[in-house]
């Protein structure tokens, strides 16, 4: 007996409500298009605000200086005498104005990017089979192209992703540069260089603080351990004082204690006490932790849109009787889930909830029904439609069983009924 799955998503609860199959339900998969520019916009705003505050402080300092000069004067002051102070104030005002303009421009650029993406994606969703059938397939290809690009970028295949971006004309629609940077930092950590990671932390500092991240502590700790390993104890002490104590004292005192311990005792002793600090794969672990933090900062799901759609596509075909079928060549396996190359992906997925199963004839693959093609169960356990049974009939009360390769009687063939 074979099952045929109902159309994708039927019976599932989706964004548009129970059993919705509106095209816009897929919008959730476009998360990456908007989540990254929104996070960038946040970061630009935070940095811009800091710059504006800094320059504003300079303006008030300069104006206080000028006011001080004028305050105690009892006689008219010469222009030249206050010129220097006034010029300084003017310079600070200009700096503040520049900081404000820069921040606004950068924010507007991000907002423009988000609006452009909304327009492009909206255009795709407006084109349907009904409105413009010839374009519908192209638009669907574009959507899936985007899912594949994000997946490639998440896995670190930036070069391939860039080629696909060019081919599909997706410039401005996908933040390749952000992923490129993230993977550069990851690679640098594996190559035992913490500098790019520290710069990344600096850029996302306030967000990381909000998340209660201990990434900076771990990276700084790594620098200290590297110094300890190389016997640079005075440098390690200086480094802890300057960089680690201010960030770890309040929230991560245990980490600080451990690091100080590594400096205080001999290398051998430290290796025994805190083997994880000296583990050979600690750089790889640090790179992994960095990637986890990136996911948190950008609020990415562990699964990409591509992997979600692939899993959904496979699960919708999965039945309890599916298992890898190695008896026939790959292109002859009738069920997608039973293909030995797909099975490893399908193995841990749930089975589809199929409410209206359909019976297909084992011989012709045609759909069985209650009128033209009534289903019959053979002793081999296979179901054949009436049309095939007619072809297998070899005379009065004689039917050929193609699976057991024997002649059987009509009494051995059971008619099946639909409930
Ligand atoms: Zn199967």
- pLDDT tens digit sequence for 76-129: 877 887 888 889 899 999 999 999 999 999 999 999 999 999 888 888 877 766
- pLDDT tens digit sequence for 179-200: 999 999 999 999 999 999 999 9
Mean pLDDT for the chain overall = 86
d(CA 121, CA 343): 34
Average pLDDT over residues 354-383: 86
| Domain 28-126 belongs in CATH node 1.10.287 | yes
Provide the sign of the torsion angle of the four alpha carbons 72, 76, 78, 79, taken in this order: positive
In 127-244, where does DSSP find H-type helix? 133-155, 158-167, 176-190, 195-203, 205-210, 215-229, 233-239
| Ligand 1 midpoint to CA 336 (Å) | 6
CA distances from 174 to 56, 108, 178, 304 (A): 36, 18, 9, 14
375, β-bridge pairs: 385
CA 135 to chain centroid: 28
Q: Would the pLDDT of 18 be above 70?
A: no
If DSSP codes are grouped into helix, strand and coil, which group holds residue 407? Answer: strand
d(CA 397, CA 355): 36
Write out the DSSP string of 158-189: HHHHHHHHHHTT-TTTS-HHHHHHHHHHHHHH
Question: Are 306 and 148 spatial neighbours (Cβ–Cβ below 8 Å)?
Answer: yes
Burial 358-394 (b: 16+ CB within 10 A, else e): ebbbbbeeeebeeeebbbbbbeeebbbbbebbeebee
If DSSP codes are grouped into helix, strand and coil, which group holds residue 360? Answer: strand
d(CA 188, CA 192): 6
| Ligand 1 midpoint to CA 163 (Å) | 35
Structural Rg of the chain based on CA atoms = 34
- pLDDT tens digit sequence for 267-323: 888 888 888 888 889 999 999 999 999 999 998 888 888 998 899 899 988 988 899
The one-character DSSP state at 415 is E
What is the pLDDT at residue 29?
A: 80
| Ligand 1 midpoint to CA 75 (Å) | 99
Name the superfamily (CATH) of residues 359-419: Zinc/RING finger domain, C3HC4 (zinc finger) (3.30.40.10)
Domain with CATH 1.10.287 in the chain: 28-126
| Ligand 1 midpoint to CA 321 (Å) | 6
CA 320 to chain centroid: 30
| DSSP E strand boundaries for 371-413 | 375-377, 383-385, 393-395, 398-401, 406-408
| Ligand 1 midpoint to CA 347 (Å) | 11
| Ligand 1 midpoint to CA 229 (Å) | 56
d(CA 55, CA 63): 12
Q: Would the pLDDT of 135 be above 90?
A: no
What is the pLDDT at residue 346?
A: 92
| Ligand 1 midpoint to CA 322 (Å) | 4
Average pLDDT over residues 365-370: 87
Containing H/E element for 63?
helix 31-71
Domain with CATH 3.30.40.10 in the chain: 359-419
Range 398-402, long-range pairs (CB < 8 A, 24+ positions):
402/363
| Ligand 1 midpoint to CA 320 (Å) | 8
CA torsion angle for 91, 97, 103, 109 (degrees, to 10)?
-120
Helices (H) and strands (E) in the chain, counts: 17, 8
| Ligand 1 midpoint to CA 314 (Å) | 10
């Amino acid at each position: 007996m074979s099952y045929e799955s109902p159309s994708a998503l039927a019976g599932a609860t989706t964004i548009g409500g129970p059993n919705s199959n509106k095209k816009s339900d897929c919008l959730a998969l476009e998360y990456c298009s908007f989540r990254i520019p929104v996070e960038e916009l946040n970061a630009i705003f935070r940095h811009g605000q800091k710059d504006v505050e800094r320059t504003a402080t300079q303006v008030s300092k300069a104006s206080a200086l000028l006011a001080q000069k004028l305050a105690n004067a009892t006689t008219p002051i010469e222009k030249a005498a206050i010129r220097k102070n006034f010029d300084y104030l003017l310079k600070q005002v200009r700096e503040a104005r520049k900081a404000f303009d820069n921040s606004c421009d950068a924010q507007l650029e991000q907002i423009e990017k988000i609006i452009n993406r909304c327009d492009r994606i909206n255009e795709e969703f407006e084109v349907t089979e009904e409105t413009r059938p010839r374009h519908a397939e192209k638009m669907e290809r574009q959507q899936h192209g985007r899912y594949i690009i994000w997946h490639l970028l998440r896995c670190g295949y930036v070069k391939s992703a860039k080629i696909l971006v060019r081919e599909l004309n997706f410039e401005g629609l996908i933040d390749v540069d952000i992923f490129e940077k993230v993977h550069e930092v990851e690679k640098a950590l594996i190559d035992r260089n913490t500098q790019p990671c520290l710069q990344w932390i600096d850029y996302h500092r306030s967000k990381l603080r909000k998340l209660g991240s201990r990434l900076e502590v771990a990276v700084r700790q790594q620098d200290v351990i590297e110094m300890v390993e190389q016997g640079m104890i005075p440098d390690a002490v200086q480094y802890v004082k300057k960089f680690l104590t201010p960030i770890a004292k309040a929230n991560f005192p245990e980490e600080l204690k451990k690091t100080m311990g590594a400096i205080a005792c001999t290398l051998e002793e430290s290796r025994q006490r805190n083997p994880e600090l000296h583990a050979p794969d600690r750089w790889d672990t640090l790179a992994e932790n960095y990637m986890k933090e990136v996911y948190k900062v950008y609020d990415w799901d562990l699964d990409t849109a591509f992997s979600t759609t692939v899993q959904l596509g496979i699960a919708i075909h999965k039945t309890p009787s599916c298992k890898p079928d190695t008896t026939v060549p790959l292109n002859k396996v009738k069920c997608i889930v039973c293909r030995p190359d797909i099975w490893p992906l399908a193995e841990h997925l749930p089975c589809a909830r199929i409410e209206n199963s359909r019976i297909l004839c084992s011989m012709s693959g045609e759909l069985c029904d209650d009128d033209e093609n009534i289903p019959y169960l053979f002793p081999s356990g296979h179901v054949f439609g009436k049309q095939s049974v007619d072809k297998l009939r070899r005379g009065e009360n004689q039917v050929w069983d193609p699976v057991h390769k024997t002649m059987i009687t009509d009494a051995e063939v059971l008619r099946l009924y639909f409930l």
